Homo-oligomer: A and B are copies of this chain.
Amino acid sequence: MTSDGQKMKKVEIVIEAVMLEEIISIIDQAGAGGYTILPTVTGRGYRGYRSGFELTNVFQNAMVFTLVDEEKALIISQEVKKLIQDYAGVIIITDADVVWPDYQKDR
């Protein structure tokens, strides 16, 4: 892959919007350096269509991803997996080459 990138895991999580905060606290507790939120996505899955155009955000999804090393990816996916027994959601893990500013090389 591109030379100066750092090999990391990109862990993407689609989740019910009401659970976004718990997901973020899982990510934080795993010691991730950060995360990015896509605040409103919609979708269909095992639990049917989640339209996101209702009066309540109960039927809305959010998406968040975090760039972490393999070990943290495992911790996060295990924790989130427990949550998505009860809540709509899915976890997607891909390999990624991440480029940080120089002064953040130590992540």
CB-based contact B44/A34 at 8 Å: yes
Contact flags A21-56 to B (C-beta < 8 A → 1, else 0): 000100000000111111111111110000010000
Chain A contact residues, CB within 8 Å of chain B: 1-5, 9-10, 14, 24, 33-46, 52, 61, 63, 67, 70, 73-74, 77-78, 80-81, 84-85, 89-104
CB-based contact B77/A10 at 8 Å: no
- Given A36-B42, A41-B38, answer yes or no on A81-B93 (Cβ-Cβ < 8 Å): no
| Subset of 22 A-B contacts with CB under 8 Å | A2-B70, A2-B74, A5-B91, A34-B44, A34-B90, A35-B43, A36-B43, A36-B61, A37-B41, A37-B43, A38-B41, A39-B52, A46-B101, A46-B104, A84-B100, A85-B102, A92-B99, A93-B96, A93-B97, A93-B98, A94-B96, A94-B97
